[in-house]
Amino acid sequence: MDLLFVFLILENIFEKYIPALGYFDETVALVMLVLFLVKISHKRMAKDYWKIILLGVGFLFIGFLGTFLNHYQTNAVAILKDILAVSKFFIVYLYSSAFMKNNNPRVQKNIIRFSKAYLLTLLFFSILNQFANIGMNSGYRGPIKTFTFLYSHSTFLVASVVILCTVLIAKGIRINSLYLVSGFIVLFFSMRTKAFMYMAATVILAILLRGRYHRVASRTTSTRTRRRLVLAIIIILSAIYYLGRNKLMSYLSWGLMAARPALYIVGFQIAKQSFPFGAGFATFASAISAEYYSPVYSRYGIANVDGISQTTGSDYVSDTYWPYIFGQYGFLGTVLYLSALAYIFKDILKKFQNKYYSLVAALSLFVYVIAGSFVESMFTNATIILVALTLGFYLPRADSNS
């Protein structure tokens, strides 16, 4: 499992030279789905996992209803691809949480050693990149060169560094402070808003949950502890708004003239007009809906928007996530999807209730995923596999407490 961790961190780099690796995340999800179906009849699972499964089945049923009623997408391959894409986070999280067992301490040690070495390597090149033309940037944001290292986009660099920091936080903040500061410097040089949100969430949670982490998911949780957690959430949401408000206002000012705001606006229109089921599988705000070009874009008048157009390029059609959910699956599907995420959040609180460092690490990672989902297809891109494995398998094996 340590080799899988390393490979997933570097997968985007390898993919530039071996394009077939672009299907690796789907392959992992399919393998785990098969193993999950084999083992589910032989081993008991927590009730909350069964609730997530039932919510997922209901969610997919809503997708089939929308597909059947609207007939926007009739390509079976596109539909199957979309089902796997929207399901893979839940598949990997459930399987890794319920059935993956590996208490070999060597795996954790190898992951920690790699994380430390790789973060120091990234730190060196991120600083060098500011003063020399080494081909590891994607332009400037203000006076800062946006660091990408060898990744195809800074988004994949940020996701990798966030995961590395997450596993180190779980093993102890103070003892890994040098490497965490290194990771935060690399995140700063990425100049990505979601990177700043992750750093802010980590600091806020580390401060407010310190000494208040015991039994945070229990019914016997003290009022003071619950207040600390609620306060942390409020401060994090405020920080997210502060960091992202200028970009949000900029997006909204473009309206239907730019891809991302157009997807949000039209997504709401679809959810309203196709109430309560949505447009159905492979129809909106996803790379699959562009590959098997959906008639929805023409029907709602955004087929010529830059980044959505079939003729000039649809690179930005999956430049966000939630329009994909409420546009394709409607009001009911969105409620079911959010409910499933809520049960995963509850499981995270329960799983790490007596591990301060792991709780901070897991919640910070969860905040990063949610924040990132507003500006990219976070839950369907390749990095979500490693996120699910980290939350479901790697973090629970970290044995540091307070």
Give tens-digit pLDDT for 242-278.
665 666 566 566 667 788 889 999 999 999 998 899 9
Pick from 79-83, 171-175, 224-228: least confident: 224-228
Let me know if residue 58 belongs to a domain.
no
- Residue 367 scores a pLDDT above 70: yes
pLDDT in tens, 6-28: 999 999 999 989 999 988 999 99
Q: Which tokens hold the place of 58?
A: 């209901």
Encode pLDDT of 113-157 as tens digits.
Answer: 999 999 999 999 999 999 999 999 988 888 999 999 999 999 999
In a domain, 307, yes or no: no
Distance CA 398, CA 103 (A): 10
Name the pLDDT band for 221 (thresholds 50, 70, 90): very low
Cα torsion angle, 269, 58, 79, 390, sign: positive
pLDDT at 161 over 50: yes
C-alpha distances (whole Å) from 79 to each of 67, 129, 201 are 9, 43, 36
Instruction: Return the pLDDT at 81.
Output: 96
Is the pLDDT at 220 greater than 70? The verdict is no
Residue 207: per-residue pLDDT: 87
Task: Give the separation between CA 321 and CA 402, rounded to whole angstroms.
Answer: 36
- Angstrom CA distances, 97 to 45, 71, 346, 363, stand at 10, 37, 13, 16
> Model confidence at 399, in pLDDT bands (50, 70, 90)?
low
Question: Is it the case that residue 213 has pLDDT exceeding 90?
Answer: no
If pLDDT is split at 50, 70 and 90, which confidence band does 400 have? Answer: low
The total domain count for the chain is 1
Q: Quick check: is 348 in a domain?
A: no
Residue range(s) defining the domain that contains residue 216: 2-44+75-252+355-397
- Judge whether 187 lies within some domain: yes
**CA torsion through residues 178, 363, 240, 337, sign:** positive
Q: Is residue 308 part of a domain?
A: no
Query: pTM of the entire structure?
Result: 0.90
Kindly state whether residue 144 falls inside one of the protein's structural domains: yes
Among all chains, which residue has been given the structure tokens 């927590």?
46
CA distance 385 to 90: 9
Q: Does residue 303 lie within any of the structural domains?
A: no
Report the pLDDT averaged over residues 193-220: 75
pLDDT at 288: 95
**Per-residue tokens: 240:** 């997210």
C-alpha to C-alpha distances, 128 to 146, 161, 393, nearest whole angstrom: 12, 18, 35
Residue that the structure tokens 């502060």 belong to: 242
Model pLDDT for residues 224-237, shown as the tens digit of each residue:
666 666 777 777 77
What per-residue confidence (pLDDT) applies to 241? 65
For 339-350, the pLDDT digits (tens) are 999 999 999 988
Is residue 401 pLDDT above 80, yes or no?
no
Whether 60 is in a domain gets the answer no
